[in-house]
Amino acid sequence: MQSVRRKVKCPTCGTMAVWDTANRWRPFCSERCKQLDLGAWSAGQYTIAENHPAEPNDSGAGD
Ligand SMILES: [Zn+2]
């Protein structure tokens, strides 16, 4: 039997990245993508959807 490596889609570039302890950047495919994503977070380009309710006064002008 072959061991199936779990793969995840890199949130930054969409490349399939191996979800493994060997991939320290998971779920990203590379350090660059991780850094880019963190930069986007700090810039407020992303909305946290999990465990965080949306701002009630958000007019929806963005996104
Ligand atoms: Zn990537």
Q: Which residues contact 3 (CB under 8 A, 6 or more apart)?
A: none
Domain 7-42 has CATH 3.30.50.10: yes
Nearest to 27 by CA among 40, 13, 41, 39: 13
Q: Model's pTM, two decimal places?
A: 0.55
**Alpha-carbon distance 2 to 5, whole Å?**
9
pLDDT tens column, 4-59: 779 999 999 999 999 999 999 999 999 999 999 888 767 765 565 566 556 677 66
pLDDT at 38: 82
CB atoms within 10 A of CB 23: 16
Domain boundaries, the chain: 7-42
What residues sit around ligand 1, an ion, with C-beta below 5 angstroms?
A: 10, 12-13, 15, 29, 33
Distance 27 CA to ligand 1 centre (A): 9
